[in-house]
Structure 1
Amino acid sequence: MKITISEVNKYVGEEVTIGAWLANKRSSGKIAFLQLRDGTGFIQGVVVKAEVVEDVFQKAKSITQETSLYVTGVVREDERSPFGYELTVTNVEVIHEAVDYPITPKEHGTEFLMDHRHLWLRSKRQHAVMKIRNEIIRATYEFYNDRGFAKVDPPILTGSAPEGTTELFATKYFDEDAYLSQSGQLYMEAAAMALGKVFSFGPTFRAEKSKTRRHLIEFWMIEPEMAFTEHEESLKVQEEYVSHIVQSVLKNCQLELKTLGRDTSKLEQIKAPFPRISYDEAIEFLHEKGFDDIKWGDDFGAPHETAIAESYDKPVFITNYPKAIKPFYMQPAPDRDDVVLCADLIAPEGYGEIIGGSERIHDYELLKQQLEAHGLTSGAYEWYLELRKYGSVPHSGFGLGLERTVAWISGVEHVRETIPFPRLLNRLYP
């Protein structure tokens, strides 16, 4: 019977066949240990010379790394294995022999591994990160589907930008200018006026010349937008969503978290509600911590966000940023004209902002004034302004950056490991 590694718990004591690749091996005179992977997981195959024909044992001793195989054997429980099972091998059939596989079990430099990203993905560590990424995506759909949100796909090619065009990739759309999307938000607002509660999940692009461990040129965003929803209600959705994906990973990716050496006790504390501080309070806090360089009206950098996050065991909301440093579409606070109804959610352990959100301006005249104040009067935003002409309502939304979230939950240092094929400032290959 042909099965996958993830299914072996159903076939203890039975002989099965698994299509796999050889990740690694070691052998002595009388026994060979084959580290096998098939995409669903990793398992050890044990080949005992006295229990198989000579040809099978010799084949097992000579198999090269990443050779593809059909391995037949009996499933056994094994408490010493992190997986809990191993395979007592009875036969090995080579499908394709791999010769001189470039990524050996020795240490390799980051650039070498990035040049071989198409192969590095096969490693146990990268496999674990990708499985956690997949679980976050699965849990995302579960969360929003269970709460009545409709999935909507905004365009990737746009004629305008939600936050200005300075960090956008420009291209020609036949005889007019177009940009790769940096956010689907404006289109999601239109969708919310039609469907009530919506979310998107897709690629976004920022032509930002940054080399930090938190930045990618191409990354994926989950962007919910909700009609008849004010800022405070949106914050509750955000903290419930983040709690849900963290707890889902804890429940369904224990083996992967263990592979990565993640301290799960920190993740177990991630349950709503989350602490909140205002921008004003954050500035005061940073001054107390010796950050004399920052003044009211400045945006926070990575050291500032990390210092704030270190005071909490959970993600922390920083609310009500100055109007002057936030995009044109954010609703001013009712009691102050200099700040807006927005929040950034800062992850613990130095991973930075994972969510940015706000209540959107729903008054036609106010939005028109804001567009003019930002020099956005070309007509490209006419459709967006029209949303405030025909049955406008209070509405709010936010965007979660998938890769930063994967990095935080999995505990990896750099976002380049959290996406299958990262696009960095100096990397477009492979």
Structure 2
Amino acid sequence: MKTTISQVSEHVNQEVTIGSWLANKRSSGKIAFLQLRDGTGFIQGVVVKAEVDEETFQLAKNMTQETSLYITGTVVEDTRSPFGYELQVKQLEVIHESSDYPITPKEHGTEFLMDHRHLWLRSKKQHAIMKIRNDIIRATYEYFNQNGYVKIDPPILTGASAEGTTELFHTKYFDEEAYLSQSGQLYMEAAAMAFGKVFSFGPTFRAEKSKTRRHLIEFWMIEPEMAFMDHEDSLIVQEEYVSYIAQSVLKNCRLELDVLERDVSKLENIQAPFPRITYDDAIKLLKEKGYDDIEWGEDFGAPHETAIAESFDKPVFITEYPANIKAFYMKPHPERPEVVLCADLIAPEGYGEIIGGSQRIDDLHLMEQRYKEHHLTGDAYEWYLELRKYGSVPHSGFGLGLERTVAWMSGVEHVRETIPFPRLLNRLYP
């Protein structure tokens, strides 16, 4: 009976055949232990010399790393294994013999591993990170589908910046100028006016010359947008959504979290509601912690975000940032027009901002004023202004960066390990 490693629990004490690769092995004179993977998981195959023919045992002893094979044996429970099962091998059939596999069990440098990313993905740790990423994606669709959101796909090629910044990848669109999208938000606002509650999930691009552990050139964003919702409504959605995906990872990825040696108590604590602190109070907190260089009106860097997060045991919202350091579309606070109705959600443990969100300007005249202040003209932005002309309503939205969220929930240090093929400042290969 053919099966997969992830399904062996359904075949205890039965003989099965699994298509797999040899991840590693060790052997003695009378027994060989084969560490096998098939994409769904990892399992140990035990080949006992006395229980197989000589050809099979010699094949097991001499098989090279990453050789592909069909392996047949009996599934047995094994309490010593983190997986809980192992395979008592009866037969081996080599599909393709691998030779000189470059990633050996010894330590390798990061650049070497990144150059071999197409192979590094096969390792147990990288496999665990990608499985956690996959569960976060699955839980994302589940959460928004269960709560009445419609998935809308904004364009990747756009005629203008979403936030008025210059960190864009420029390209030619036949005879016109075009850019790779840095956010689908403006288009999601249009979709919200048609469908009420929407979300997108897709790639975004930032031409930001940064080498920090939190930055990628190409990354994925989940961007919900909601009509008839104010800033407070949006914050509730954000904390419920983040709590939902965290609890999903805890439920579905225990084996992967164990592989990564993640402290699951940190994830168990991610449950709504989350604490909130205003930008004003965040400045005061930083001053108290000795950050005398930060002044009101300046944006927070990674050390500032980490210092703020250390004061809380859950993700924390920083709200009401100064208008002059935020995007043109954010709605001013009704009692303090110098700040806007926005929030960044800062993850604990030094992982920084994972969500940026705000209530959007819904007043036509104020948006026209913002257009003048930011020199936004032409067809590229006219359609966005029209959303305020024809049935404008209060609306809010946010964007969650997938890779930072995966890094935080996995407990890995650098976002380059949280995307299958990372694009970094000096890396476009493989």
Deviation at 1:313, TM superposition (A): 1.0
**Is the partner of 1:390 in helix, strand or coil?**
coil
Measure the CA separation in 2 of the matches of 1:26 and 1:285: 55
CA deviations 1:179-233 (Å, max 9, x no partner) are 0000000000000000000000000000000000000000000000000000000
**Is the partner of 2:423 in helix, strand or coil?**
coil
Opposite residue 303 of structure 1, the aligned amino acid is P
**Is the partner of 1:380 in helix, strand or coil?**
helix
2:397 aligned residue: 397
1:40 aligned residue: 40
Opposite residue 83 of structure 1, the aligned amino acid is F
Q: What is the number of equivalent residue pairs in this alignment?
A: 430
Measure the CA separation in 2 of the matches of 1:313 and 1:165: 34
Q: How do residues 5-24 of structure 1 correspond to structure 2 at under 5 angstroms?
A: 5-24=5-24
Alignment partner of 1:58 is 2:58: yes
Measure the CA separation in 1 of the matches of 2:276 and 2:296: 18
Opposite residue 280 of structure 1, the aligned amino acid is D
* Unpaired stretches in structure 1, ≥5 consecutive residues: none
Deviation at 1:393, TM superposition (A): 0.3
2:160 aligned residue: 160
Alignment partner of 1:372 is 2:372: yes
Deviation at 1:160, TM superposition (A): 1.0
1:215 aligned residue: 215
**Is the partner of 1:128 in helix, strand or coil?**
helix
2:315 aligned residue: 315
Q: How do residues 379-418 of structure 1 correspond to structure 2 at under 5 angstroms?
A: 379-418=379-418
Measure the CA separation in 2 of the matches of 1:327 and 1:160: 14
Measure the CA separation in 2 of the matches of 1:294 and 1:379: 39
Alignment partner of 1:271 is 2:264: no
Opposite residue 279 of structure 1, the aligned amino acid is Y
Alignment partner of 1:190 is 2:190: yes
CA deviations 1:292-318 (Å, max 9, x no partner) are 100000000000000000111110000
2:170 aligned residue: 170
Alignment partner of 1:203 is 2:223: no
1:359 aligned residue: 359
2:299 aligned residue: 299
Alignment partner of 1:99 is 2:99: yes
Deviation at 1:47, TM superposition (A): 0.2
Deviation at 1:379, TM superposition (A): 3.2
TM-score (norm: length of structure 1)? 1.00
**Is the partner of 2:79 in helix, strand or coil?**
coil
1:348 aligned residue: 348
Q: How do residues 8-157 of structure 1 correspond to structure 2 at under 5 angstroms?
A: 8-157=8-157
Measure the CA separation in 1 of the matches of 2:266 and 2:388: 43
Opposite residue 91 of structure 1, the aligned amino acid is Q
Measure the CA separation in 2 of the matches of 1:180 and 1:169: 5
Task: Give the RMSD, CA atoms, in angstroms.
Answer: 0.5
Measure the CA separation in 2 of the matches of 1:257 and 1:371: 47
Measure the CA separation in 1 of the matches of 2:333 and 2:300: 20
Opposite residue 284 of structure 1, the aligned amino acid is K
Measure the CA separation in 1 of the matches of 2:284 and 2:418: 34
Measure the CA separation in 1 of the matches of 2:145 and 2:379: 35
Measure the CA separation in 1 of the matches of 2:275 and 2:264: 20
**Is the partner of 1:148 in helix, strand or coil?**
coil
2:285 aligned residue: 285
Measure the CA separation in 2 of the matches of 1:193 and 1:139: 25
Measure the CA separation in 2 of the matches of 1:387 and 1:164: 18
Measure the CA separation in 1 of the matches of 2:154 and 2:378: 21
1:231 aligned residue: 231
Deviation at 1:378, TM superposition (A): 2.8
Measure the CA separation in 1 of the matches of 2:380 and 2:95: 56
Measure the CA separation in 1 of the matches of 2:178 and 2:365: 27
Measure the CA separation in 1 of the matches of 2:266 and 2:312: 11
Measure the CA separation in 2 of the matches of 1:318 and 1:374: 25
Measure the CA separation in 1 of the matches of 2:380 and 2:90: 67
**Is the partner of 1:286 in helix, strand or coil?**
helix
CA deviations 1:252-274 (Å, max 9, x no partner) are 00000000000001110100000
Deviation at 1:165, TM superposition (A): 4.0
**Is the partner of 2:229 in helix, strand or coil?**
coil
Measure the CA separation in 2 of the matches of 1:165 and 1:171: 16
Deviation at 1:371, TM superposition (A): 1.1
TM-score (norm: length of structure 2)? 1.00
Measure the CA separation in 2 of the matches of 1:429 and 1:164: 30
Q: How do residues 234-273 of structure 1 correspond to structure 2 at under 5 angstroms?
A: 234-273=234-273
Measure the CA separation in 1 of the matches of 2:377 and 2:75: 68
Measure the CA separation in 1 of the matches of 2:341 and 2:160: 23
Measure the CA separation in 1 of the matches of 2:76 and 2:311: 47
Deviation at 1:162, TM superposition (A): 1.4
Range with bigger deviation, 368-377 or 200-209: 368-377
1:428 aligned residue: 428
Measure the CA separation in 2 of the matches of 1:180 and 1:325: 23
CA deviations 1:7-26 (Å, max 9, x no partner) are 00000000000000000000
Opposite residue 23 of structure 1, the aligned amino acid is A
1:332 aligned residue: 332
Give aligned-pair identity as a percent: 80
Opposite residue 93 of structure 1, the aligned amino acid is E
Opposite residue 250 of structure 2, the aligned amino acid is L
